Protein backbone atom coordinates (compact mmCIF):
# COMPACT_ATOMS: atom_id res chain seq x y z
CA UNK A 1 0.00 0.00 0.00
CA UNK A 2 2.82 2.38 0.88
CA UNK A 3 4.45 1.79 -2.51
CA UNK A 4 1.16 2.58 -4.28
CA UNK A 5 0.79 5.88 -2.42
CA UNK A 6 4.46 6.77 -3.09
CA UNK A 7 4.10 6.08 -6.80
CA UNK A 8 0.67 7.79 -7.02
CA UNK A 9 0.81 10.87 -4.76
CA UNK A 10 -2.31 12.35 -6.37
CA UNK A 11 -4.44 9.31 -5.52
CA UNK A 12 -7.77 10.67 -4.34
CA UNK A 13 -9.19 7.73 -2.42
CA UNK A 14 -8.24 5.76 0.62
CA UNK A 15 -6.85 2.30 -0.01
CA UNK A 16 -8.34 -0.16 2.44
CA UNK A 17 -7.06 -3.61 1.49
CA UNK A 18 -9.52 -5.37 3.79
CA UNK A 19 -12.30 -4.05 1.53
CA UNK A 20 -11.05 -5.41 -1.76
CA UNK A 21 -8.22 -7.87 -1.36
CA UNK A 22 -7.05 -10.55 0.98
CA UNK A 23 -4.72 -13.50 0.77
CA UNK A 24 -3.91 -16.48 2.97
CA UNK A 25 -1.51 -15.67 5.79
CA UNK A 26 1.11 -18.08 4.43
CA UNK A 27 0.85 -16.79 0.83
CA UNK A 28 3.66 -14.97 -0.92
CA UNK A 29 2.59 -11.68 -2.56
CA UNK A 30 3.22 -11.19 -6.28
CA UNK A 31 3.93 -7.50 -6.96
CA UNK A 32 1.76 -5.74 -9.52
CA UNK A 33 3.74 -2.77 -10.83
CA UNK A 34 0.94 -1.80 -13.26
CA UNK A 35 -1.98 -1.65 -10.87
CA UNK A 36 -3.37 -1.70 -7.37
CA UNK A 37 -4.29 -5.36 -6.86
CA UNK A 38 -1.37 -7.64 -6.03
CA UNK A 39 -1.36 -11.33 -6.80
CA UNK A 40 -0.15 -14.11 -4.54
CA UNK A 41 1.16 -17.65 -4.47
CA UNK A 42 -0.39 -20.05 -1.95
CA UNK A 43 1.35 -23.43 -2.14
CA UNK A 44 0.97 -24.36 -5.83
CA UNK A 45 -1.85 -21.91 -6.64
CA UNK A 46 -0.99 -18.66 -8.42
CA UNK A 47 -3.54 -15.84 -8.14
CA UNK A 48 -3.19 -12.86 -10.49
CA UNK A 49 -5.32 -9.75 -11.11
CA UNK A 50 -8.04 -10.09 -13.74
CA UNK A 51 -7.23 -6.95 -15.73
CA UNK A 52 -5.07 -8.23 -18.62
CA UNK A 53 -2.31 -5.61 -18.34
CA UNK A 54 -2.05 -6.15 -14.58
CA UNK A 55 -2.12 -9.93 -14.97
CA UNK A 56 0.72 -9.78 -17.49
CA UNK A 57 2.77 -7.52 -15.21
CA UNK A 58 2.24 -9.86 -12.26
CA UNK A 59 2.99 -12.96 -14.32
CA UNK A 60 6.28 -11.43 -15.45
CA UNK A 61 7.37 -11.65 -11.79
CA UNK A 62 6.79 -15.42 -11.58
CA UNK A 63 7.21 -16.65 -15.19
CA UNK A 64 10.61 -18.17 -14.40
CA UNK A 65 8.97 -20.62 -12.00
CA UNK A 66 7.24 -22.34 -14.91
CA UNK A 67 10.31 -23.25 -16.95
CA UNK A 68 11.75 -26.69 -17.58
CA UNK A 69 10.52 -29.98 -18.89
CA UNK A 70 7.59 -31.68 -17.22
CA UNK A 71 6.72 -35.34 -17.55
CA UNK A 72 3.26 -36.73 -16.82
CA UNK A 73 1.59 -40.11 -16.69
CA UNK A 74 -2.14 -40.61 -16.37
CA UNK A 75 -3.82 -43.60 -14.75
CA UNK A 76 -7.47 -44.49 -14.20
CA UNK A 77 -9.08 -46.37 -11.33
CA UNK A 78 -12.65 -47.55 -10.80
CA UNK A 79 -12.25 -46.68 -7.10
CA UNK A 80 -13.62 -43.45 -5.62
CA UNK A 81 -11.10 -40.73 -4.90
CA UNK A 82 -11.27 -41.22 -1.13
CA UNK A 83 -10.23 -44.87 -1.42
CA UNK A 84 -7.06 -43.79 -3.24
CA UNK A 85 -6.01 -40.87 -1.04
CA UNK A 86 -3.58 -42.73 1.22
CA UNK A 87 -1.70 -44.60 -1.53
CA UNK A 88 -1.54 -41.48 -3.71
CA UNK A 89 -0.08 -39.50 -0.82
CA UNK A 90 2.47 -42.27 -0.27
CA UNK A 91 3.60 -42.34 -3.91
CA UNK A 92 3.91 -38.54 -4.03
CA UNK A 93 6.05 -38.47 -0.88
CA UNK A 94 8.17 -41.51 -1.76
CA UNK A 95 9.09 -40.31 -5.26
CA UNK A 96 8.95 -36.52 -4.87
CA UNK A 97 6.31 -36.13 -7.57
CA UNK A 98 3.00 -34.29 -7.76
CA UNK A 99 -0.15 -36.36 -7.82
CA UNK A 100 -3.62 -35.13 -8.69
CA UNK A 101 -6.84 -37.13 -8.55
CA UNK A 102 -9.93 -36.16 -10.48
CA UNK A 103 -13.12 -38.16 -9.87
CA UNK A 104 -15.66 -38.57 -12.65
CA UNK A 105 -18.82 -39.97 -11.09
CA UNK A 106 -20.62 -40.22 -14.43
CA UNK A 107 -17.88 -42.43 -15.88
CA UNK A 108 -17.41 -44.27 -12.58
CA UNK A 109 -13.68 -43.71 -12.47
CA UNK A 110 -10.98 -41.53 -10.98
CA UNK A 111 -8.29 -40.07 -13.23
CA UNK A 112 -4.89 -39.97 -11.53
CA UNK A 113 -2.23 -37.65 -12.94
CA UNK A 114 1.39 -38.06 -11.85
CA UNK A 115 3.71 -35.17 -12.71
CA UNK A 116 7.45 -34.73 -12.24
CA UNK A 117 10.68 -33.66 -13.86
CA UNK A 118 11.98 -37.13 -14.75
CA UNK A 119 10.19 -39.70 -16.93
CA UNK A 120 12.17 -42.57 -15.38
CA UNK A 121 11.11 -41.55 -11.86
CA UNK A 122 7.49 -41.41 -13.02
CA UNK A 123 7.71 -44.88 -14.55
CA UNK A 124 9.17 -46.23 -11.31
CA UNK A 125 6.41 -44.47 -9.35
CA UNK A 126 3.72 -46.04 -11.57
CA UNK A 127 5.29 -49.49 -11.09
CA UNK A 128 5.40 -48.94 -7.31
CA UNK A 129 1.81 -47.75 -7.30
CA UNK A 130 0.69 -50.86 -9.21
CA UNK A 131 2.65 -53.16 -6.86
CA UNK A 132 1.30 -51.55 -3.68
CA UNK A 133 -2.26 -50.71 -4.68
CA UNK A 134 -5.17 -53.05 -4.06
CA UNK A 135 -7.14 -51.56 -6.94
CA UNK A 136 -7.00 -52.02 -10.69
CA UNK A 137 -5.21 -49.21 -12.50
CA UNK A 138 -5.25 -48.61 -16.23
CA UNK A 139 -2.86 -46.35 -18.11
CA UNK A 140 -3.91 -43.83 -20.74
CA UNK A 141 -2.39 -44.42 -24.18
CA UNK A 142 -0.61 -41.57 -25.93
CA UNK A 143 -3.89 -40.71 -27.68
CA UNK A 144 -5.69 -40.30 -24.33
CA UNK A 145 -7.65 -43.56 -24.50
CA UNK A 146 -7.39 -46.16 -21.78
CA UNK A 147 -5.21 -49.23 -22.18
CA UNK A 148 -5.52 -51.88 -19.47
CA UNK A 149 -2.25 -53.46 -18.47
Domain 71-148 in CATH 3.30.70.260? The answer is yes
- Per-residue pLDDT tens over the stretch 71-97: 999 999 998 888 899 999 999 999 999
Whether residue 20 is predicted with pLDDT greater than 70 in this model: the reply is no
Band (pLDDT 50/70/90 cuts) for residue 148 is very low
Give the end-to-end CA distance of the chain in Å, rounded to a whole number. 57
Domain positions in the chain = 2-65, 71-148
Q: What's the whole-model pTM score?
A: 0.56
The dihedral through the CA atoms of 50, 52, 58, 59 has a sign that is positive
- Per-residue pLDDT tens over the stretch 106-123: 998 999 999 999 999 999
Residue 38 is predicted with a pLDDT of 82
Residue 135 is predicted with a pLDDT of 66
50 alpha carbon, distance to own chain's centre: 19
User: Which of these, 91, 89, 101, 76, lies nearest to 125 by C-alpha position?
Assistant: 91
- DSSP one-letter code for 64: G
Amino acid sequence: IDRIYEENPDLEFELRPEWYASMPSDATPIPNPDGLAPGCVAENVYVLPGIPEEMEAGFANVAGEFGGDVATQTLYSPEPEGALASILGDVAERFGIRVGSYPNREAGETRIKLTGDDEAVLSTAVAWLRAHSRVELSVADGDGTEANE
